[in-house]
A = this chain, B = another copy of it.
Amino acid sequence: METVMSEAAVGYAKANGGRFVEELKALLRIPSVSTAPEHVADVRKAAEFTAEGLRAAGMENVRVIETSTEKRKGHPLVYADWLHAGANKPTVLCYGHYDVQPAEPLDEWKSPPFEPEERNGNIYARGAVDDKGQMWMHVKALESLLKAEGKLPCNIKVIVEGEEEVGGEGIAAFVREHGDVLKADAALVSDTEMFAPELPTLCVGLRGMIYTELEAKGAATDLHSGMYGGAAPNPFVALAQIIAQIKRSDGHIAIPGFYDGIEEPTKEELKAWRSLPFDEEHYRKTEVGSTELTGEMMFSVLERTWSRPTMDVHGMPGGFIGMGAKTVIPAKATAKISFRLVPGMKPDDIFAKYKKFVESIAPRGVQVSVRMIHSGEPIVVSTDNEYIRAAKKAMAEVFGKETVFVRGGGSIPIVGDFVRELGVPTVMMGFGLPDDNLHAPNEKFHLANFHRGIESIVRFFGLVGEGAT
């Protein structure tokens, strides 16, 4: 069933689609890299831009909320609401983030990461799909409804954060301390992807993570490898020996107790995954591009990336990394190591086991220390509620196809907090594509999905307002 209200708003969105894209480009030009101290002002600029967009859309009580405390320097939240749909209508909390990943390596971008460019129906820029483009869909869906109809079909709160890419500590604290402000009947998150082009998809589970730095210290100062090689500890060799003991060549993580208590997916879920249009060889060739896939080969790729934990090394700072040769034994070296966690695993527990293990295997002469950079809990959301049903229907209407349920391998830390702290069903309705190069050079967003996303969200709000699910 489609409502008249939705149709008018959809018409408005179609008529104004070109302008929506131009506005998104302006947002994409702000290099709001939340992990980079030199971009603090840009991150704030992106927050202000988002607040202004919500105001222009007709949202009320728009506020930029500081998350800095004495202990930490945080990036601000943006809040807005519109609560005149009536007490008998549900309240939906919309979540997105305006911060982005670093753009390095810059020389692999075909167009500069902060100069958005349209090519082949896509918009290329850092943050195009993760998550500025998807967050902007929320803003534009709200604008379309408010401008076309003068009101919204349900009550809406919006919270947009600037620390999603660095662990979301600020919003987590805000949820804990001011949960009442964000009180809602359901949450809508658009920060995930569709399983395949044209296939409407709802994400109902995410892996958690811990992101750490493992430092190995050997000599008191950098030493000449000719004079000291053979007697002085080499921290890179030590890190290599530790990493090789953490992750075996068959993908198994050898930290004692690492897999304890893992909750397996249900038989129904596994069966549904097997019916998804997924070919491991096609995935290897077109998405990964390696000669072979890796990991725990007794599990399918979807299981390995959705419902199995894993470990990755992201970079190993230290020593000499310039061109040519320097014969140095560095005094210290670091490995940036993260673990993806699945339901049944607790970040603090895994961190403690990991720390204990690396300390127990630290090679002779090397002192290791482990530091947690950030963490997020794994979650699985129930599919048995009216909001998931409304989302499923809205997407099916727009795409003309049955909506599928999948999980995501990544982490959106705040979703766990919504589920745990606010106790609300969370709808993860995302419009990215598997080849959108999230966190990589040449990130893009397919513009047709940007527009279909706005329409899906308009229809979702309409269905929620009607209770017609």
* Chain A interface residues toward B at CB < 8 A: 35-37, 101-102, 104-105, 108, 165-167, 193, 207, 209, 211, 218-234, 236-237, 239-245, 247, 249, 251, 283, 287-296, 301, 304-305, 308-330, 333, 335-336, 338, 340, 363-367, 373-374, 408-411, 434, 437-442
Contact = CB atoms under 8 A, between A and B. Distances in A.
Nearest to A442: B221
- Please name the 7 residue pairs, one residue from A and one from B, whose CB atoms are nearest each other, closest first: A220-B289, A226-B410, A315-B319, A35-B324, A244-B244, A236-B313, A240-B243
A367 B325 contact: no
Contacts of A308: 230
Nearest to A244: B244
Given A305-B231, A320-B314, A440-B223, A294 B365 contact: yes
Contacts of A411: 226
A261 B426 CA distance: 68
A218 B207 CA distance: 23
B228 A305 contact: yes
Contacts of A319: 313-316, 336
B312 A35 contact: no
Nearest to A227: B409
B231 A237 contact: no
A296 B328 contact: no
Given A167-B325, A336-B319, A439-B326, A304 B226 contact: no
A364 B249 contact: yes
Contact of A225 (B220, B231, B314, B316): B314
Given A240-B244, A301-B231, A336-B319, A221 B312 contact: no
A291 B410 contact: no
A235 B219 CA distance: 27
A101 B224 CA distance: 11
A442 B222 CA distance: 10
Given A291-B367, A316-B316, A327-B410, 14 more contacts: A104-B326, A193-B227, A222-B441, A223-B287, A223-B288, A224-B439, A227-B408, A231-B294, A233-B294, A234-B294, A236-B335, A291-B366, A312-B329, A327-B439
B322 A290 contact: no
Contact of A317 (B249, B321, B325): B321
B440 A224 contact: yes
Given A35-B322, A249-B364, A230 B305 contact: yes
A304 B374 contact: no
A218 to B, nearest CB: 5
Nearest to A130: B224
Nearest to A376: B226
20 contacts: A35-B325, A101-B327, A165-B325, A167-B325, A193-B227, A219-B289, A223-B439, A225-B439, A228-B409, A229-B310, A231-B283, A231-B295, A232-B290, A233-B294, A236-B316, A240-B313, A291-B365, A291-B367, A314-B325, A315-B326
A227 B340 CA distance: 10
